[in-house]
Amino acid sequence: MGQGAQGNSLFTPLFMGAMILVFWLFMIRPQAKKAKLQKNFLANLQKGDKVVTIAGIHGKVNKLYDDNTIQLEVNPGSYMKIEKSAISIEWSQAANKAAAASVAGK
């Protein structure tokens, strides 16, 4: 009976370590990768880039300010000042991909 208790005490830390590893691989790592991609996307924004905000507003970057805001042209002559963090990388890339596909299809 002494061996059973000893094997169980070794199994528990290994099981906990495996659970932490799985949690890190499937939850933390992908989120960190996505956050890094979003940060690079926002850092490389330039005037004229077409973007979509997290609220679904489509527009073109008109000005970049030093206080992490941008001026977004939503219609010719109509501008909004928004936070850079309000831009969605997924929706912006999807909108640009769809626009490129429609141009290529013509």
- Average pLDDT of the segment spanning 39-63: 93
Per-residue pLDDT at 62: 95
Same domain, yes or no: 67 and 31: no
Same domain, yes or no: 69 and 33: no
CA distances from 75 to 37, 47, 60, 69, 91 (A): 28, 15, 9, 18, 19
Q: Is the pLDDT of residue 6 over 70?
A: no
Same domain, yes or no: 26 and 53: no
Residue 38: give the domain boundaries.
Answer: 1-44
Same domain, yes or no: 40 and 51: no
Per-residue pLDDT at 64: 94
pLDDT band at residue 1 using 50, 70 and 90 as cut-offs: very low
State how many domains the chain has: 2
Same domain, yes or no: 8 and 31: yes
Q: How far apart are CA 82 and CA 70, in angstroms?
A: 6
Amino acid at 88: S
* Cβ(72)–Cβ(87) below 8 Å: no
Same domain, yes or no: 52 and 102: yes
| Least reliable range by pLDDT among 15-19, 52-56, 87-91, 98-102 | 98-102
Report residue 75: phi and psi, to 5°: -140, 160
